[in-house]
Chains A and B, each alone.
Chain A
C-alpha cells in the first residue's frame, strides 16, 4: 500500500503547476487522502483542493470517478456538489500515471471554465438534494405537465396514486404518481396530463403543495435543508392551512404526508420537490407579534424525497420515433409475434394512440417469441398486450377493437356496399393502419379501401425475409413476393400438437431483429420525405455472418 501511496504522491508532485500542500496518507479504509495546490497560469493565484483517491483507482467506482477533489469554498461555482466535490468527467485509462494526468487536467479545465470564467451551462441544472428516508422508507412522486399556471404562494391539496413499492438499494421505496391539484377547499383545479389508464389508477391519497415561484435554494443550486430557510418565502395563509390540516388529521397522527414545493425553472416549465411531513409534528409554530397570532417554520431539518418530471418530453427525451409516426392515430391488426413487437416498440418510442384488434388467445407457447408473459396464463391477447403497454408508457391510450364486429364488416358482409362503407368509415379515423395479421383475405379486403396509410408486415418461414408493403393497393405485390419470389419453405414447419396447428419457425431474436430493422427504415423515410416510401423486403443471409439486405421496390 505504501508503495502505491508513494507512487501517487510522486506522480502528482511532478505534474506541471501542481504541488503537494499536505502529504498524502492512507485512511482507515485504505483511501488515500491529501491536499494539493494548483497554480493558475498567468496569475499568482493558487487553489487548494483536498484529494481523495479510492482503492478502485484508476478504475471507476460504479459510474463515478474514484478520485475526488474538494473545496467547500467553491460551492457557489458551477459543477460543485454539496460536499464541495468538483464534478469532473474524464477519460478511461488503466495506467495510473496517465490517469492522474488526465484527471488533474480535467480539474484544471474546471478551474478555467467555472472558477475563472464563471461560465453557466445552457441547460438547466436541477437543484442538488439528497433525499432521505422517513421512518426508514423512501418516497417518490412522479409528476407530469398540467394545463395550468400556478401563482406565487398558491397552495392546496394534490391527489396521488400509490403504485408499486420497490427497493432503493437496501431501503424500501414507496412510489407514487401525482394525479391532480386541488385548491385549499379541495376543488380540483387541474388534472395531470397522463393517459386515461393512469388517471384511473386507484390507491388514492392526499398530499399538500405550495408554489414558490423561485427555487428554494442556497447558493442558487443546493436545496435548502431547514424549514426555517423558507421564512419569508411563504405567506401566513399557508401556516393557517397547515395548522388546520394537522388539527383535522388527529386520527392519523404519525403518518407521513408529502408537501410538494413547486417553482418555475423556465417561463414554460415548473418543477416540484417533495418533502415529507409527519402528521402531528408539522414543522410550524405560532407566536404573537403586535398582539396578533402568527405562524412560522421551526428549526428542523427537511426530509426531502424523490420527485421525477415524467412529462412526455422528458419521458421520451432520450429517443423516440419521428413525430410523423408518434402523432398518428394507429391501428394494429393482429398482435402475434410481429404485431406485439410492433405495438411495444411504438409505445416505447412515443406513440400515444394505438388501437389493437385480434381474435386470438395467448397460449404459453406464444411467449417465447412475442411480447407476452408466462404468468398471465391463457387470456385474450388484446387484454394482455394492452396491460403490457399501459405499464410501459403513461401517455399511451390503447383501444381494443371488437374482433367480431371487425370480422363481420371485413369478411362476412364484405360483398355488401354498405358493410364496405361502414368498414371504410370505421378505419377513416386512423392515420396509420399496421396489418400484422398475415391474413391474405383481409389484405385483399383492405386493399379495396381508401386508407390514409396501410402498412403490412409479415415474414417467411424461419424469418428468412420480412415483407413490408407501404404503398396503396399492394395486395398483388405482397402475394407475388410469397408465391413467386421468396423462398418460403413450408415443409420445415413447427407442428407440435397435430397437423391442424402448424406454425412457422423463428425465435424472438430472429423476428425482432427484422421488425426493428423495418421500423428503423420506416422511421428514416418518415423523417426525410425527399424520397418516397416504397414497398420493401428485408432479405437475410447467414452464410458469411448474418446480413440483412434492404430491397426497396
Chain B
C-alpha cells in the first residue's frame, strides 16, 4: 500500500469542510454567541475571537467544537473585580441565555455551551474562554490576558487567579510559519490528532501536539513526502519527550511549559507509543491504517466498495481471511 496516499485520504476525510452542515451551524451559533457577549458587555469587552483548532486550521470533523476567547477590559467587573467574578458573571450570563436550548457548564478555563441536537443528530459546542487584560488598555498593545482556572488545569490549581496567556500569539505560532512549511505542519498536527483520537483519554492535549510538532520542525530537517515528514516528527517525539530538560513553552506565556502537563510515566508512554508505532509500520505498511484511520463516513463510495476486495467475502465453504480462531 502507499502510505502517502493513505495519509492524504486520512486528512481529506477528516476535513472540517466535509461536515458542511455542522460547520455552518457552528459558524451561526458562534456569531450569535459573539454578538450576545458584545451586546451584554458593551464597552467592557474587546471583540471576542475564535481560537482553538478552527482558528489554527487544524480542526477535524470527528471532534468538533469552537473555542471563543472573550477578552474583557481591566475594569469590566469593577476596579477590584476578581477573575473569579469575571468567570462567574460570564457563566451566569450564558446560563441565563442558553439554559433552555443548551447544556451550559463550567469547564477548566471556559464555559461550555452544548446546544441540544435538533433531531438531526448535529451537536453544536462552543467553549467561551473569558479573559481579562492585565492593565487598563494594555490588551490593545500586546494581547495578553489573564484567565480564571475553575478546575485544575495543567499545573494550575483550581481557583488560580492568574493564568497569563496570549491566545493570539498561540494562533500566530502556527499561522506565521513559512507557507509551504505551514501546510506540512498543519497536516502533521491533524494526523497526530487523528492518532490521539484512536486512544482512550490520551493525556496529551491538542495544544501539546501542536507545540511539539512545531518544535520538531524547528529542530529537525523535515523533508520528503508526507509519510517521511510524519515519520521524522514521530521519531523526534520518541527521542526527545523523555529527555531531561525538554521543554514545550507556551507561545502565549513562556512561563507555561506544556511538558509539565504530562507525568513522567505519561512521557514514557508517549515515547513508547511512538516507538511501537514506527516499528509496527516498518513491519507492515498496513498497520498505518489503524494508527491513522480514515474517517469512514467520508471515504469515497467507490473506494469503500473496493476496500474489502477478496478479503471479507467467504467463498463457498472457505472461511474468509478475517476469520479469527480460538
Q: Do A and B bind each other?
A: yes
Interchain CA distance A467-B287 in the complex, whole Å: 13
Q: Is A485 an interface residue (CB 8 A)?
A: yes
What total count of A-B pairs have CB within 8 Å? 104
Q: Which B residues lie at the A interface, using CB under 8 A?
A: 198-200, 264-265, 268-269, 272-273, 276-277, 279-280, 283-284, 286-287, 289-291, 293, 308, 311-312, 316-326
A470 to chain B, nearest CB (A): 11
B71 to chain A, nearest CB (A): 38
Q: Which residues of B contact A436 (CB under 8 A)?
A: 326
The CB with the most chain A CB atoms within 10 A, among B284, B311, B321, B323, is that of B323
Say whether A531 contacts B265, CB under 8 Å: yes
Q: Which A residues lie at the B interface, using CB under 8 A?
A: 334, 336-339, 436-438, 440, 457-461, 463, 467, 471-473, 476-480, 482-485, 488, 490-491, 493, 495, 499-500, 502-504, 506, 511, 529-532, 534, 551-553
B288 to chain A, nearest CB (A): 10
Interchain CA distance A337-B326 in the complex, whole Å: 6
A531 to chain B, nearest CB (A): 6
A58 to chain B, nearest CB (A): 50
B36 to chain A, nearest CB (A): 34
Selected contact of B289 from candidates A484, A551, A552, CB within 8 Å = A484
With A480-B289, A484-B311, A485-B286 given, is the CB distance from A339 to B318 under 8 Å?
no
Say whether A438 contacts B317, CB under 8 Å: no
Say whether A502 contacts B317, CB under 8 Å: yes
5 further interface pairs, Cβ-Cβ under 8 Å (given A334-B326, A502-B317): A485-B284, A490-B323, A493-B318, A534-B273, A551-B276
Say whether B325 contacts A458, CB under 8 Å: yes
Say whether A499 contacts B269, CB under 8 Å: no
With A472-B200, A500-B317 given, is the CB distance from A485 to B287 under 8 Å?
yes
Say whether B286 contacts A482, CB under 8 Å: no
Interchain CA distance A106-B165 in the complex, whole Å: 74
Say whether A473 contacts B200, CB under 8 Å: yes
Residue of B nearest to A487 (CB): B321
Q: Which residues of B contact A467 (CB under 8 A)?
A: 324
Say whether B290 contacts A477, CB under 8 Å: yes
The CB with the most chain B CB atoms within 10 A, among A338, A459, A471, A553, is that of A553
**Can you give 14 contacting A-B residue pairs, CB < 8 Å?**
A338-B326, A436-B326, A438-B323, A438-B326, A459-B324, A467-B324, A476-B289, A476-B290, A490-B318, A490-B319, A491-B318, A551-B276, A551-B283, A552-B276
Residue of A nearest to B283 (CB): A551
Q: Which residues of A contact B199 (CB under 8 A)?
A: 471
Interchain CA distance A511-B325 in the complex, whole Å: 10
B7 to chain A, nearest CB (A): 16
With A438-B326, A460-B325, A461-B325 given, is the CB distance from A531 to B272 under 8 Å?
yes
With A438-B324, A479-B322, A483-B312 given, is the CB distance from A532 to B269 under 8 Å?
yes
Interchain CA distance A437-B279 in the complex, whole Å: 29
Say whether B268 contacts A530, CB under 8 Å: yes
Residue of B nearest to A488 (CB): B321
What 7 A-B pairs come out closest when comparing CB atoms?
A: A338-B326, A458-B324, A499-B317, A504-B325, A484-B286, A438-B324, A472-B200
Q: Which residues of A contact B322 (CB under 8 A)?
A: 440, 479, 482-483
Interchain CA distance A493-B321 in the complex, whole Å: 12
B238 to chain A, nearest CB (A): 14
B244 to chain A, nearest CB (A): 17
Selected contact of A459 from candidates B200, B286, B318, B325, CB within 8 Å = B325
B326 to chain A, nearest CB (A): 4
Residue of B nearest to A534 (CB): B276
Interchain CA distance A473-B200 in the complex, whole Å: 8
Say whether B308 contacts A483, CB under 8 Å: yes
Say whether A339 contacts B326, CB under 8 Å: yes
Q: Which residues of A contact B316 (CB under 8 A)?
A: 499
